[in-house]
Amino acid sequence: MFPPNFLWKSSVVLRLSILTVACLSVLGTSGAPAQASHEGKGSAKDPARITDELREETPNDFLRVTFVSAGTSVTSLARPGALRGFATATDFYLPPLPLKEFPLYSGLINDDTKTLVALRCRPAKPESVDAVLATWPNLFHAIERDVHRDVAECSAISPASKPDPELQAFCFARAYNDPAGSTVPRTLASTFDYAAKAFDPENKALADWLRAQYGVFPAFSGLGFSVKDSYNLDTQPMDAAQLLVKSVSPEYVLKNVSLKEAGCSCISVAPYPGRGDDKLDPKFIAKAGGDGECRAVKSLTHAK
pLDDT in tens, 255-270: 999 999 999 999 999 9
* CA 90 – CA 59 distance, rounded (Å): 9
5 pLDDT band, cuts 50/70/90, is very low
Concatenate the DSSP letters of all residues of 9-52 into one string: -HHHHTTHHHHHHHHHHHHHHSS--SSTT-TTT-----HHHHHH
Q: What is each CA distance from 27 to 92, 136, 275, 281, in whole angstroms?
A: 7, 24, 24, 16
Instruction: Summarize the confidence of residues 279-301 as an average pLDDT.
Output: 96
26 pLDDT band, cuts 50/70/90, is very low
State the alpha helices, DSSP H only, in the chain: 10-13, 16-29, 47-56, 102-105, 136-146, 165-174, 184-196, 204-214, 240-245, 282-288
- φ/ψ region of 32 (left if φ > 0, alpha if ψ in -120 to 50, else beta) reads beta
Instruction: Give residue 163's pLDDT.
Output: 82
Point out the least confidently predicted range of 112-116, 161-165, 257-261: 161-165
* CA 42 – CA 34 distance, rounded (Å): 9
Asked if the model's pLDDT at residue 44 lies above 70, the reply is no
Q: Mean pLDDT across the chain, nearest whole number? A: 87
SS percent in the chain: helix, strand, coil, step 5 = 35, 15, 45
Gyration radius (Cα) of the chain, Å: 19
Point out the least confidently predicted range of 21-35, 127-141, 225-239, 278-292: 21-35
Minimal CA–CA distance to 254: which of 195, 207, 214, 211? 214
280, exposed or middle or buried, with CB in 10 Å at 0-12, 13-18, 19+? buried
CB of 249 within 8 A of CB of 226? Answer: yes
298 pLDDT band, cuts 50/70/90, is very high
> Domain residues of the chain, as ranges?
16-130+256-297
Asked if the model's pLDDT at residue 152 lies above 80, the reply is yes
pLDDT in tens, 88-112: 999 999 999 999 999 999 999 999 9
- φ/ψ region of 147 (left if φ > 0, alpha if ψ in -120 to 50, else beta) reads beta
Return the DSSP state at 290: E
pLDDT in tens, 58-75: 999 999 999 999 999 999
Instruction: Give residue 130's pLDDT.
Output: 98
